[in-house]
Amino acid sequence: MFQRVHAHWRALPATARLYVTAASVAGALLAALGGGTWWMLERAYATSVQLAYSEVDAASQRLSDRVQRLFDQLNQTASLVKHYQESGGGADLVAMEKNGLLVPAGRLSMALADQTGQVLGMTEAQGAVPAGAKHVADRQHFQGSWTRTDLAIAQPVYSDVLKRWLVPGGKQLQHPNGKFAGAVLLAFDAALLTEGFTVNDSPGNAVGVVGADGIFRSRRSDDRQSAGDQVDGDQIVRAVDRTDRSMKPAASAIDGIVRFRSVTPIPGHDLYAVVAVPASTSMAGYYALRTKTLATAAFGALLILFMTWVLSRQSLRLRRTVMQKEQAELRVYHEKEMLEVTLRSIVDGVATTNHLGRITYLNPAAEAMTGWPAAQAIGKPVSEVICLTHTHTRERLGLGLNEFARPGAQPRPARDSVLVQRDGAHRSIEDSAAPILNRNGMAVGAVLVLHDVSPAKKLAAEMSYQASHDLLTGLLNRAAFEVRLDAAITTQDLDETGVVMFLDLDQFKVVNDTCGHVAGDQLLKQVTALLMQEIRKQDTLARLGGDEFAVLLEACPMEPALRVAEAMRRRISELQFSWEGRSFQLTVSVGVVPFKAHQYTRSDLLRVADSSCYVAKEAGRNRVHVYDEADTAVATRNDELDWYSRLQKALTEDRFVLYAQRIASIQEGAGGHESVEVLIRLRDDEGKIVAPIAFIPAAERYGLMPQIDRWVISKALAMHAGFARHSTLPARFSINLSGASMADPTLVDFVREQLAIHRVSPELICFEITETAAVASFDVAVQMINRLRELGCRFALDDFGAGMSSFTYLKRLPVDYVKIDGAFVKDMAKDAVDFAMVEAIHNVAHRMGLRTVAEFVQNDVTIEMLRGLGVDYVQGYGVEKPRPLDDATRSEPPPSFVKPMALPKLMAA
C-alpha cells in the first residue's frame, strides 16, 4: 500500500506536490499557533482569577480584623458598664456617656435591663431599646445574652427615630452567685462596620458583614450603605472554604452585578466579612491581553500564510537551476533554524552569534539584562556583551561556543551563573547555549539563552529567613535553635561546657490582657534588646514562642554563665514598661542547664531546661534555677510531664481498670446493701497494674481529673448490672469525686445521663469527696452535693478527721455517711488518743443522724472495738483486699461481720 501511495505521490506534478506540502506545513503551523494561543489565554485567565481572589481574600481578612477590633472595643465598653453595674454601685450610663467612657462616642447607645427584661436605665443616645419601651425581654439582643457571657451581636434593626440601621448587642450581667442578673444592651450605627473601608479605586466593589442566617449587618457598595439585606446563609458559610472555588464569578443576589467574592469568618461571632469586586474591573487586564493576543495570533496566521505563499513561489523559481535551488534551500533552512530556536527562547533573554562569535541579535529581554542596546551590541564579540562569572567564586566563565565547532556538538545545558551587566551590577541567571547548524551539520553560529532567577533566589532567601526566624523580634525561632543546639551537642569539645537557658516572663500575660497584643509585641521587642546586650556574638538567643526565650552559650563555664543569667534577670526586673499611661514591672524566671558533648539528646536537654525554668517559677519567680543531676524538683517535674502523656494515652487507649473493696456492715440492721468502694488502677505498657498514688497527683496538677472521674462513673455504671448479679442484696457503688469535678457545673447532667443509659437506680450510687476537697471550695461543694442528692444519690465525706476544722464543716455539709480517716483507725487498739478520736467522730456523726464508716481496718480486734463503739461499717484489708470489679469469684457469698466476737482484753482494759 505504501508503494502505491508513494507511486501516486511521485506521479503528481512537482508544482502540486509543492502546494500540498506547503498547505500541510501551513496547516500544522496554524494549528500549533491556535493551540498555543488557546493554552496561553487559558493560563492568563486562571492567573487573573487567582489574582482577583487574592485581592478579595486579603481585603476580606482586613475587614474581618477591622470588625473584630470594633467588637473588641464594644466588648470592652460593655465590660466597663458590666463592672460598674455588678460592683453594687450601679452604672450611670448618662454620666458615662457625657464623660466619653462609652466608645465609639456619638455612634453608640446603651441601656441596662434586669433579668426580667425591665429597662433600668439608658443613655441619652437612642437605639439600644425601642423608644418608650420599658421591657425588652422579647428583644433578640437581650435573649442572646442569656446563654453567652461575651458580647452577643443580633440582627440589625431600622430605627424610625434615627432614620438609620442599627446593630444591637448584649452582654450578660451576673449575680455574685453566678446566676443571670440581666444584660448590658447596646446598639451602634451599622455603618460603623463598613464605612471608610476600601478594596481598590475601582467602582462597583461591595463589602459587608453578614451572619450565618444570611442577613447583612451592614453592606456598602460604592456610596450606597444598607443593612438587613437577605442572602443565602448556607452559601455564605460554604464560601469560607476556599479550596474548591469556581473559576467563574457569580452574580449578586442583591444588585445583580457579577463579582468575585471572598468570605472570612469573624472570630468569636457567628458573623462573616464579605468582600466582592466586579469581574469587569478585576479581569480588565485579561480582557486587554486576550484582545492583544488574538490580534497577534491573527497577524501570525497571516504571516504564516504569507510566508507559505512566498516560499512556494520562491521554490518554483529556484527549481529552474540547481544552484539557485541549493542557495534558496540553504537560505530557507538557516532562516527556519534561527526562527525556531528564537521562538523557543523568546520568554528569556536571547542572543544569537555568527560563526566568528559576534553578536547578531539581542531580544528586548537580553537588552534589559545585559544593559546593552541591540543596536550597539550587534557586531561586538559576545564575551564583551555577555560577561558571566561563577555563582560562588566569581571567577570568569567561558561561554563554551568553541565546542560547537566540532562535528556533532550538542547544546550546552543550563547552569547557574552570575551575569555582570554593563553598569557593573550583578544578576543571578541560568545560562544555556545551542549551536545553529547548516545542512551539513556544521555550526554557523550559536544561540545563548539567559534565564533570570534573581526573583526566585530572593524569594527563596526570604522564605529561608522566615522559616528560621521569629518575625516579631528577629531572633531565631524554635526550629533554628534546635538545629544549633544539635550542632553544639555533637561538635562541642569533650572538655568544654555548654549552657542552655530557658527564660519565661512572669507578668507578660498581665500586659497582654490589659493593654492588648500591640503592647505585648512592643514589650517583647524591648526584652529582646535587653537580652541581646548580655550575650556574646557567638552565643544564640531565640524566641521559642509567646513569652518564652532560650539562650545557648557554647564553650562557656558555669560561673560566667550564671553571671549572664543573673544579669538577664536583673535587666528584666529593672525594666519599667509603660504603655498609654500605664506602667508595668516585669520579672523573669530562668532555668540553667550545663551540658557536655553527647551528654544529652536535644529533646532531653530542652525538657530539663524547661523543667528547671518551671521550678524557678514555682519557687517564687524572678529567680535563677540551676539544674544538676541530683535535682529532685526537676526530676519530679519531669515525672509529672511523663505521667501527663501517659495519662492522655491511657484515656485514649482505655488502659484504666476498676477495682473494688468491700464496705461491710458490723451492726444489726445497718445492712440492706452489698456496698463496695470503686477504685481506679492503670495498666501500663507491660500489663502491670499501677496504683493511683503514682498518677493521681499528676492528673490533679494538669487538670485531667474531671476526664478520669467521668470515665470511672461511666465504666462503673456500665459494670453495675454484672456486679449486682453476684449479690443477694442490692449492690451499692461508692465512687470518688475530685475537687475539680465538684466545680464542674455539667457533672450533674452527665451523671443523670449515665444513670439513664445504664438503668441504675440513683440510690445505689454513693459519691465520696475528701474533707480537704470539700473545704477548699466549700460553697461550690455544698451546691454540688445538694444537686446530686436531688437525683437520689448518696454522699459520703471521705478521710474525715484529717482537716483542722472538721466538726465545723461537718455540721454544714449535707452528707449521708462519714468515713473516719484511717490514720486514727489503724492504731486505735494500741493508742488511746486514736481510740478517743474515733469515738468522738462517731458520736458527733450519730448525733447528726449520719452513718459512720471506719477505714483502714486491718484485723478482727479493731472490728470488735468499732462494733463496741457503735460504728456502722468497716473497710480495709481486714475486711477485703481490693480486687478487680469484674472478678468472677465475687459470686461466692461474702463473710458476715455482724455477729459480735469476744471482747479482747485490751478493750476491757
Span between the terminal Cα atoms of the chain, in Å: 130
Whether the pLDDT of residue 795 is over 90: the answer is yes
Which pLDDT score, from 0 to 100, does residue 496 have?
84
Q: Which of 509, 604, 501 is nearest to 544 (CA)?
A: 501
Give pLDDT tens digits for 734-769.
999 988 888 888 999 999 999 999 999 999 999 999
Residue at grid coordinates 545551542: 434
Q: Which of 304, 326, 310, 327 is nearest to 18 (CA)?
A: 310
- To the question of domain 469-629 being in CATH 3.30.70.270, the answer is yes
Is the fold of 469-629 the same as that of 655-884?
no
Which pLDDT score, from 0 to 100, does residue 796 have?
93
Which pLDDT score, from 0 to 100, does residue 802 have?
67
**Position 263 confidence tier, pLDDT thresholds 50, 70, 90:** very high
- Residue 456's SS3 state is helix
Architecture of domain 655-884: Alpha-Beta Barrel (3.20)
**Position 645 confidence tier, pLDDT thresholds 50, 70, 90:** confident
Give pLDDT tens digits for 580-598.
888 888 899 999 999 888 8
Domain-wise residue ranges, the chain:
69-193, 351-458, 469-629, 655-884
Give pLDDT tens digits for 400-435.
777 777 777 788 888 888 888 888 888 888 888 888
Which pLDDT score, from 0 to 100, does residue 637 have?
59
- Residue 597's SS3 state is coil
Q: Determine how many CB atoms are found less than 10 A away from the CB of residue 281.
A: 18
Which range among 189-193, 463-467, 753-757, 847-851 shows the weakest confidence by mean pLDDT?
463-467
Residues contacting residue 91 through CB under 8 Å, at least 6 positions apart? 81, 82, 84, 85, 112, 121, 184
- Measured in whole angstroms, the distance separating CA 623 from the mean position of its chain's CA atoms is 32
Which pLDDT score, from 0 to 100, does residue 764 have?
93
Whether the pLDDT of residue 667 is over 90: the answer is no
How far is Cα 570 from Cα 309, in angstroms, rounded to an integer? 89
Whether the pLDDT of residue 888 is over 60: the answer is no
How far is Cα 405 from Cα 383, in angstroms, rounded to an integer? 17
Which pLDDT score, from 0 to 100, does residue 97 have?
84
Which pLDDT score, from 0 to 100, does residue 901 have?
45
Contact 209, 193 (CB under 8 A): yes
Residue 104, preceding bond cis, omega within 30 degrees? Answer: yes
Give pLDDT tens digits for 862-884.
999 999 999 999 999 999 999 99
Q: Which of 615, 466, 473 is nearest to 546 (CA)?
A: 473
More confident residue, 642 or 617: 617
Residues contacting residue 216 through CB under 8 Å, at least 6 positions apart? 156, 208, 209, 210, 226, 227, 228, 229, 230, 231
Which pLDDT score, from 0 to 100, does residue 93 have?
86
Which element (helix H / strand E) includes 796?
strand 794-800
Contact 531, 571 (CB under 8 A): yes
Per-residue pLDDT, averaged over 326-330, amounts to 73
Which pLDDT score, from 0 to 100, does residue 444 have?
81
Residue type, 294: L
Which pLDDT score, from 0 to 100, does residue 771 have?
77
Contact 467, 533 (CB under 8 A): no
Give pLDDT tens digits for 199-245.
888 888 999 999 989 999 999 998 888 998 999 888 888 888 888 78
Which pLDDT score, from 0 to 100, does residue 455 have?
80
- Residue 687's SS3 state is coil
CA 278-284-290 angle, 5° bins: 135
Give pLDDT tens digits for 379-396.
888 888 888 888 777 788
Task: Specify the pairing of strand 883-884 against strand 873-874.
Answer: unpaired
Contact 835, 828 (CB under 8 A): yes
Greatest mean pLDDT among 75-89, 125-139, 155-169, 324-338: 155-169
Contact 153, 71 (CB under 8 A): yes
Which pLDDT score, from 0 to 100, does residue 633 have?
54
Q: Give me the chain's average pLDDT, please.
A: 85
More confident residue, 14 or 480: 480
More confident residue, 399 or 272: 272
Task: Specify the pairing of strand 883-884 against strand 656-665.
Answer: antiparallel
Global confidence as pTM? 0.42
Residue at grid coordinates 508513494: 6
- Residue 161's SS3 state is coil
Whether the pLDDT of residue 907 is over 60: the answer is no
- To the question of domain 351-458 being in CATH 1.10.3470.10, the answer is no
Per-residue pLDDT, averaged over 251-258, amounts to 86
User: Rg of the Cα trace of the chain?
Assistant: 42
DSSP bridge pairs for 852: 818
Residues contacting residue 295 through CB under 8 Å, at least 6 positions apart? none
Which pLDDT score, from 0 to 100, does residue 904 have?
45
Residues contacting residue 623 through CB under 8 Å, at least 6 positions apart? 569, 589, 590, 616
Residues contacting residue 859 through CB under 8 Å, at least 6 positions apart? 829, 878
Whole-number Cα distances in Å, 31 to 28, 37, 38, 304: 5, 10, 10, 11
How far is Cα 306 from Cα 617, in angstroms, rounded to an integer? 85
Which pLDDT score, from 0 to 100, does residue 332 have?
67
Q: Which of 596, 610, 615, 45 is nearest to 284 (CA)?
A: 45
Residue type, 672: G
More confident residue, 290 or 803: 290
The string of DSSP letters for 627-638 reads --TT-HHHHHHH
- Total residues belonging to the chain: 909
Architecture of domain 69-193: 2-Layer Sandwich (3.30)
How far is Cα 76 from Cα 103, in angstroms, rounded to an integer? 9
Percentage helix, strand, coil for the chain under 3-state DSSP, each rounded to 5? 45, 25, 30
Contact 879, 675 (CB under 8 A): no
User: Helix 284-318 crosses helix 322-345 at what angle (to 10 degrees)?
Assistant: 160
Which pLDDT score, from 0 to 100, does residue 653 have?
86
**Position 89 confidence tier, pLDDT thresholds 50, 70, 90:** low
Which pLDDT score, from 0 to 100, does residue 218 have?
93
Whether the pLDDT of residue 356 is over 50: the answer is yes
Residue at grid coordinates 446593630: 167
H helical segments located in 319-452 = 322-345, 364-370, 374-377, 382-385
Q: Which of 656, 773, 795 is nearest to 716 (CA)?
A: 656
